[in-house]
Amino acid sequence: MITDAELLQDLQFLNSQPSWVYRELPGEDRAELLEPATVPAETGVYWIAGETTLHAGRKLESVFCVDTDAGGELVSVFWKIGDHWYRHDDTDTLAALELSQDEVFPFDWSYVVPLEEDIYHS
């Protein structure tokens, strides 16, 4: 479970205001807040709200950290489970979901703000 207050604040904001995205500023420890209709290709790493559909069909509110320089490669995935946020690969995530690994993986996902280039969903 994620306990970092700043990260939780960012996840909650993006989840509650899904038309907004964060774009990480290269070489800086901060991001800019944008409201694009589409996330442009080859413009760096973005944090985008969306939804994950687990292999068993369950849907989760999500925030994705996406590398647009790599065609939309997922850098990190955050899932809201109950009232808490988890990284998809944290050791306690499966227990929080009360699902087996086979019921979770592979998963699919969608973004509220679509990517201009998405190698997984073209």
Query: What DSSP string describes the chain?
Result: ----HHHHHHHHHHHHSTT-EEEEPTTSS-EEEE--SSBPTTS-EEEEEEEEE-TTS-EEEEEEEEEGGGTSEEEEEEEEETTEEEETTSTTHHHHHT--HHHHSS-EEEESS-BSS-TT--
Give the model's pLDDT for residue 122: 75
| Per-residue pLDDT, 112 | 98
pLDDT above 90 coverage of the chain, percent: 98
Q: Render pLDDT for 29-77 as a digit per residue (tens, 0 to 9).
A: 899 999 999 999 999 999 999 999 999 999 999 999 999 999 999 999 9
The domain limits of the chain are 5-111
